[in-house]
Amino acid sequence: MSMNSPALRSFLDVPPDADFPIQNLPYGVFSPRAGEPARVGVAIGDHVLDLSVLEAAGLLVCPGREAPAVFAQPALNVFMAAGPAAWRAVRARLIELLSADTPTLRDDAALRSRALVPRAQVQMHLPCVIGDYTDFYAGIHHAMNVGRIFRGPDAALMPNYRWIPIGYHGRSSSIVVSGTEVRRPCGQYKLPDEPAPRFGATRELDIELELGVLVGVGNTLGEPIAVERAAEHIFGLVLLNDWSARDIQQWEYQPLGPFLGKNFATTISPWVVTLDALEPFRCSLPTQEPPPLEYLKGPGLCGYDIALEVELTPAGDKPGAVIARTSARELYWSLAQLVAHHTVNGCNLRPGDLLGTGTISGAAPGSYGSLLELAQRGKTPVALPDGSQRTFLRDGDVVTLRGWSQGADYRVSFGECRGRVLPARGGS
C-alpha cells in the first residue's frame, strides 16, 4: 500500500479532519515537559511519537547513521543530512509501527506509555539549527501588489522578475519557533512631509505569509545543485511569518535592500512537513513567460496545493478573524528553482539552512498575505469582529498562520505558526 494511501489507518484514533494523520507524520523537536531534554519526534493525532524511545528500543534505525543516536539529538540536522533514501526508509518504518495492523507498538502498553506523549503537554523547539537564511520573492501577485502601491500600475513588476528568482540573504539569529512573542522594533523612518528621518518604534508593523524550505543534504562549495535534483536536497517545509517594519524598510532598502525592517524576528512553525507527505498535492506551476533560462528548466517542476490562511486576534478577550486565505499554488517560482538559483554560482547550502518563499498572495482582495496589501497601506483598513480596524499591527495582536493540503479522508497540515506583538522597549 502506498505511504500516502487514504486507506492507511493508525491504531491511534485520528479523525479525518485532524492535522496530523498517519499520512503526514511531520518531524519536530520537543521536550516531553518544559525543562526536559529535547529530542526528535513526529506528530500523530493528539500525540507526539518520541523517536528516541523507538531508537533506544532497537525499533528505529536511520540508514547510514546507526551511531551515535540520531533521534536523541536536540535538533534534526543529523537526520536531515542523511539524505532522501534515509528519510523515506524512516518514514516507511514509522508508518509500519503506527499502522493499525502492526502489533509491535499497538500491543505493548509499556512501550506506548514511554513513546507516545500527549501533544498538549510538550514544549516545542526550533526543529533544527538554522545556519543561514535566505528570503525569496517568489509570489508574483505579492510582487505586483507591492509594486502598484509604491511605484504605480505601470511599473508594478520589476523587469527582472520573470527572469530571475529574486532573493536576499537574511539572518538566522532571530528566527524563533511558533509561540514566541515578538517585540515591536525601533529604527529610522521618514515621514513624507518631514525633511529628516526620525528614530522610534515602527508605525507599520506587518506580517508576511510564507512557506519556509528547510535544506536537508547540502552541496560542496563551488558545485551547483541542478534543478532536476534540487528536490532531493529539500528535507521539508514549515510555515513562516517574516515580520516586517514597512516604514523602516522603505527608508533603508535603497540601494542594498532590507535590513533593520526585517531582521528583528522571523517565526516558523515547529512541525516540518516532508515533500513525500506532500507528494499527492503536487500541482502545475503558473505559466512562466518568458521561458526561464536553461539552468532553471527541468522535468517535474511543480507547485504544491497548500491552502494558507492568516488569523488576527486583538489583545484581551476579543474574537479574532481570518483576514486572508490563499494557496501556495500562487507561487511563480518552484521550490526546486529557488534551490537551483541559490547554488548556481557555487554557493554551498548546509543541512538546516532555511529558504523563505516570500509572501504568498493571490490575485483577489482577501487573498493577500500581508497587511500592506490587504489595507493598501492604510487606504482600506481591515475590519475585525470587535469593531476595530487594522492598517498595520497593534501591540497585543496575535497573528496565527495555518496551512494544509486536503486529501481524500485526511489532511496534511502544518499546524500553526503564531506570535503575539509586544510593545517596543520603552513603549510604542
- Chain centroid, CA 392 distance in Å: 22
Inside any domain, residue 146: yes
Q: Using one digit for the tens of pLDDT, what is the confidence trace for 234-253? A: 999 999 999 999 999 999 99
Burial class (CB in 10 A: 0-12, 13-18, 19+), 108: middle
Q: Is residue 427 part of a domain?
A: no
How far from each other are the two terminal CA atoms of the chain, in whole angstroms? 57
**Looking at the domain assignment, is residue 1 inside a domain?**
no
Residue 78: which CATH number? 2.30.30.230
Looking at residue 64, its pLDDT comes to: 86
DSSP, res 347: P
73, 170: one domain: no
| 317 pLDDT more than 90 | no
One domain, residues 106 and 169: no
Mean pLDDT of the chain: 96
Question: Is the pLDDT at 427 greater than 70, yes or no?
Answer: no
Domain hosting residue 111, numbered range: 27-125
- CB of 399 within 8 A of CB of 207? yes
pLDDT tens per residue across span 164-185:
999 999 999 999 999 999 999 9
pLDDT attached to residue 68: 80
Residues 87 and 204 in one domain: no
pLDDT digit string, tens, across residues 15-71 = 999 999 999 999 999 999 989 999 999 999 999 999 999 999 999 999 988 768 999
Based on the fold, state whether residues 163 and 258 are members of the same structural domain: yes
Task: State which of 125, 155, 184 marks the end of a domain.
Answer: 125
Q: How far apart are CA 338 and CA 358, in angstroms?
A: 11
Q: Which of 57, 91, 125 is the last residue of a domain?
A: 125
Cis peptide before 290 (omega within 30 of 0): yes
What is the rounded average pLDDT of the residues 105-113? Answer: 97
- Grid cell digits, residue 340: 537551483
Annotated catalytic residue, options 47, 125, 141, 142 = 142
Name residue, grid cell 496565527: 400
Average pLDDT over residues 400-427: 94
**In contact, 264 and 242? CB cutoff 8 Å:** no
Residues near 195 by Cβ (< 8 Å), separated by ≥ 6? none
Q: What CA dihedral angle connects 11, 13, 17 and 20, to 10 degrees?
A: -60
Q: What is the pLDDT of residue 130?
A: 98
Look up 142 and say whether it is catalytic.
yes
Would you place residue 428 in the very low, low, confident or very high pLDDT band (cuts 50, 70, 90)? low
- What is the domain-level CATH number for residue 398? 3.90.850.10
Q: Is 234 helix (H, G, I), strand (E, B) or coil?
A: strand
